[in-house]
Amino acid sequence: MSQGESKQLDSTTFSTWHREYSSNITAFVFGILREKATTEEVVQATFTKAFTVGGEVQPGSEKAWLFQVAYREALMLLRKRKSHQNKLLNIQNQTSLKSLLNDNPVQKILNDEQIEAVQLAVRRLPENQRDIVHKRIYEEKTFQQIADELQIPLGTALTRMRTALRSLQAVLEQNKDD
């Protein structure tokens, strides 16, 4: 495909794809999500992507491509949902913690010390580990996004995070003993 050609799928091909594959894709996505509304949302996103960039798909591979797009869309929706649930839990836990801290000033001091100890331990990590911890925890990036951004292999990103967590655990356990 040359630069000037459109990636968009023509309406006849789009209609054919939709007619031939939509019911199978819907069943496939429902098997992943187990919810009708979100399944419909993913199927719609799949065919929207098919319409906008489906012109790039090699003839004969459209079924596999559509299922791959549907799978990725379903996983992305599950990740977003999990992230949203985690944020809600964090808000709920912070609210509970704040009320607990307001009731107990000694506990507030201890918690502040723990937070400070964690922040200090993170600052003392080697820069390559500290970057990964920051991007994963504070920026909520996936390890693949981190690896891509830092231009390192995925395994390296995972290893650095594991090493950093072990270092943090050791430091924090030592502080707890002191």
Global pTM exceeds 0.75: no
Domain, as residue range, for 146 = 104-177
pLDDT band at 121 (very low <50, low <70, confident <90, very high): confident
Query: Based on the domain organization, do 28 and 93 belong to the same domain?
Result: yes
Calculate what percentage of the chain has a pLDDT beyond 70: 81
Task: Indicate the average pLDDT of the chain.
Answer: 84
Give tens-digit pLDDT for 4-13.
456 888 999 9
Query: Based on the domain organization, do 13 and 64 belong to the same domain?
Result: yes
Query: Based on the domain organization, do 92 and 82 belong to the same domain?
Result: yes
In this predicted structure, what is the pLDDT of residue 141?
86
Give tens-digit pLDDT for 70-101.
999 999 988 888 876 777 677 666 665 555 55
Q: How far apart are CA 156 and CA 135, in angstroms?
A: 14
Q: Which CATH number do you get for residue 119?
A: 1.10.10.10
- In this structure, what are the phi and psi dihedrals at residue 153, rounded to the nearest 5 degrees? -65, 150
In this predicted structure, what is the pLDDT of residue 4?
43
Query: Based on the domain organization, do 52 and 63 belong to the same domain?
Result: yes
Boundary-marking domain end, from 73, 103, 133:
103
Query: Based on the domain organization, do 3 and 80 belong to the same domain?
Result: yes
